[in-house]
Amino acid sequence: MAAPSVSTSASSQVRPGLEGVVATETKLSMVDGQNGVLIIAGYPIEEISGKVSIEELAMLLWTGHLPSKEEAPGIQKDLATYRALRPETLEILKTARNAPPIDALRMACATLSLDVSNPNDISPAGDLALAKRLLARFPTVIAAHSRLRSGHEPIAPRADLSLAANFLYMTFGVEPDPMAAKALETYWVTVSDHGMNASTFTARVIASTRSDMVSAVTGAVGALKGPLHGGAPGPVLDMLVDIKTAPKAEAWLRKEITEGRRIMGFGHRVYKVRDPRAEVLAKTASEMAGAHLQNTKLYALACAVEKTAIKVLEELKPGRNLKTNVEFYTALVLQSIGLQPDQFVSMFACGRAAGWCGHVMEQHAQDRLIRPQSLYVGPKGLKIDR
């Protein structure tokens, strides 16, 4: 059946970018941009980041219940059994060894259901089985790709380590630093879900067609790649390197703004105050700076630049409310554990996979096709003259 037509009188109802449109109900997260609040399945982000593992957080999103301390080890052990990659996935990563990590992840993601007897099963049990594979294997994919592009063979995963610690072990080939593993885990929990962002909406649109979990999450990875969504935490480091010292910050920032360039790590589509995730990651960055002396000066510079940037942005862009966003301290946290800037977006995907899978489960349960309408503004009545 054809969709009903939309009259030109509907033009006043068009919302570019779907700004302000409420598309669904969810129990997974709530974003209050005016007050700087992020709730994950009932818990303020400050309450769970640094206190629960990404495995525990995933089960909260997927089942609605946070595991007890007694249940947590069993969940970690269960998810660890899914970490190993199939030979077909490794072959794709070898072929894509020179591709950006986020592209390698997108290519590999589509293969992660090859060991499932019925990858099209969108029942709650089928979705949960695929969600476990995706969350467990994303870090394995990134670690294997990192090894391959540096000319080394991938390292097999270890079941005795947490997801974050195992990623560090597989990436660097040494016993993981517990503080670095904790920092990465905190980061993944912090970015695990964030309302109806572009990649989550993409996943839900795909799932609404009754397509499978892996297809939906592969699409979400593609949406995350775009710099308007996945962000640019890497250029934050470039900015700090260019500024060099705190006294030079104000002149550098003023020049960038007056020449029409964006200040990386500031401003957000939703938040009109400081991003609550920046609050969490600033604390994590501070802890890492104290443990790794080589990062102490960079952290001190970042704090000075943040303070100066807020002042300059308020003066030169009044009313825009361009406050610190999640990218700013993400750059410091991920750099401090030894990762390269081009890996940052794929690291984001490893944490957000928990939320994507939760939203796919919700959408499958709702079983409603997402089908908005559009307002035609092109010509009509054209004739072929030949």
Strands 29-32 and 37-40: antiparallel
Write down the pLDDT at residue 229.
85
Closest residue by Cα to residue 43 from 28, 55, 58: 28
The answer on 132 and 114 residing in a single domain is yes
pLDDT band at 1; cut points 50, 70, 90: very low
Q: Which residue carries 């920032």 as its tokens? A: 253
Its domain, for residue 153, covers: 41-226+346-366
**pTM (predicted TM-score):** 0.93
Show which residues are catalytic.
Answer: 268, 327
pLDDT in tens, 46-61: 999 999 999 999 999 9
198 lies in the same domain as 330? no
Question: What is the C-alpha separation between 215 and 210, in angstroms, rounded?
Answer: 10
- For residue 85, give the CATH number of its domain: 1.10.580.10
Assess whether 78 and 196 both reside in one domain.
Answer: yes
pLDDT-derived band of residue 292, with 50, 70 and 90 as boundaries? low
Whichever domain contains 258, its CATH number is: 1.10.230.10
Query: pLDDT tens, 318-344?
Result: 999 999 999 999 999 999 999 999 999
pLDDT at 293 over 70: no
In terms of domains, do 332 and 353 share one? no
Same domain, 195 and 259: no
What is the number of structural domains in the chain? 2
Virtual torsion, Cα 283, 285, 291, 292, nearest 10 deg: -170
Query: How far lies 173's CA from each of 154, 156, 350, in Å?
Result: 9, 10, 20
Quick check: is 31 in a domain? no
Shared domain for 106 and 146, answered yes or no, is yes
